[in-house]
Every structure is written in structure tokens, then in C-alpha cells.
Amino acid sequence: MVTLSPALRRILAVVILAAPLAALWGLVVGPVTTKFESYDQSIAQSQALLARYLRIGAARERLQRQLKEVRQTQASLGGFLEGASGELVAAQLQNKVKGLVEANEGRLKSIQILKEQEENNFRRVAIRVTMIADTEAVQKTFYALESTNPYLFLDNIDIRASRRRARKNQSAGDLQVRYDVYGYMRVEKP
């Protein structure tokens, strides 16, 4: 048997006593305290999120009032075509154009509904018109179309001298005019 010095025995006794304590700390106390620290961090994050959500929730009613005001302001602004569907609006647009052409002494040759197009948050409703009129009637009709409410726009204007001047309903200065008339509808977002 080996004899140890008294100092070495004391050190060995301390190590034997400290080893179970260190093992107890490493296996039980250490993981439990680490878990508690993790829980404390999670609770702090959750409390910060809760405070943020409460601030956002408090602003919700104010934001809803502002959105309602903006929608009312937009609704009060004129200039947009109104109707249940694009087809109905196009039919109303046809009637309006027909009335303006006839009021300015022009004659309609044809009206064609064009395909609707989505542009940003609006729907473009367009028709193609072919009419016969003299220069003055064309100018008056164009002015009436572009100065009306809701706002209408002219595009793809094609003016040609009429080839058949011998017809009894046509004078020598008549022009055949083809153009697109369009306006915009609001698109309701859910």
C-alpha cells in the first residue's frame, strides 16, 4: 500500500468531497438555472411583444377612422365612372357618346365595346366610336366628351375624308372619324 503525505491526503479528501458537489452542480443545478435564464429571456421577449401589440391595437381604431375618412373623400371626388359592372358602365358610356354626337349634329356609324383593363387600382372601360360629321361637329363632340364629368379621355383618333360624297345624307365636307373613348371605374378591394 502506498502512503500519502498528510497534505496530499487533505487535497484528495477535498477533491473527493468536491467531485460529487461539482457533479451535482453540472447535472442538476446548472441545467435548471440555465433553463430558468432561458425562461426569463422568453418572458421578457413576450412582454415586449405584448406591449408592442397593445400599442398597435390601440392605434387600430384611429387608423380605421382615418381609412373611413379617406374612402369618403375618394367617394366624394368626381370623375370616375359609376356602375355595378364594366359592361353596364360601357353601355352607359355608349348612350352618353351617342347623345353627344347627335347633339353636335354628327351621325354614328358604329360603336364597339372594348376589353376592360386593370390599371393600378382602377378599371379602364373603353368603347370605339366611328362617326360621320363635319369639322365643326367633330370639334364640338370632342370638346363635349373631354369636358364632361365623369372624366372621359380620347385616344387612337383617326380622321379621314369621306369617300362617298354623293350620298344624300352626306355633305362634301363630312369626315369619317374613328376614336376610342375611355374612363375609369374604381375597383373595390375587399
Say how far apart CA 97 and CA 142 lie, in whole Å: 10
Q: Are residues 36 and 90 in the same domain?
A: no
In contact, 125 and 177? CB cutoff 8 Å? no
Q: Considering its fold, how many domains does the chain have in total?
A: 2
Alpha carbon separation from 36 to 22, 26, 28, 107 (Å, rounded): 19, 15, 12, 87
pLDDT at residue 166, rounded to an integer: 45
Q: Are residues 168 and 95 in the same domain?
A: yes
The domain boundary, picked from 19, 53, 77, lies at 77
Q: Are residues 97 and 181 in the same domain?
A: yes
Mean model confidence pLDDT for the chain: 84
The domain boundary, picked from 77, 98, 115, lies at 77
Write the pLDDT tens digit of every residue in 23-56: 878 777 778 888 888 889 999 999 999 999 888 8
DSSP-assigned beta bridge partners for residue 131: 108, 177
The domain in which residue 132 lies consists of: 86-186
Q: Are residues 113 and 170 in the same domain?
A: yes
For the cut 50, the answer to whether the pLDDT of residue 156 exceeds it is yes
Q: Are residues 182 and 92 in the same domain?
A: yes
Say how far apart CA 144 and CA 137 lie, in whole Å: 10
Phi and psi at 165, nearest 5°, equal: -95, -5
